[in-house]
Amino acid sequence: MLKKGKIKLIPEKTDPAKEVRNLMRRVETLESQ
């Protein structure tokens, strides 16, 4: 059992810039087909 305070829970965060880059890559892939 984990001791209280030993592990910090990191809230799930999304990086907006990463999300935009992902969409850019998808667009590039689709447009190159």
Q: How far apart are the first and last CA of the chain?
A: 52
Cβ distance to other proteins smaller for residue 8 or 12: 12
Kindly tell me which of 5 and 31 has the beta carbon lying closer to other proteins. 31
CB of 10 to other proteins, least distance (A): 16
- 27 CB-side CA count, 13 A: 6
- Which positions touch other proteins (CB under 8 A)? 14, 16, 19-20, 23-24, 26-28, 30-31
The smaller minimum CB distance to other proteins, of residues 7 and 32, is found at 32
**Amino acid identity of 28?**
E
Number of H helices, E strands in the chain: 1, 0
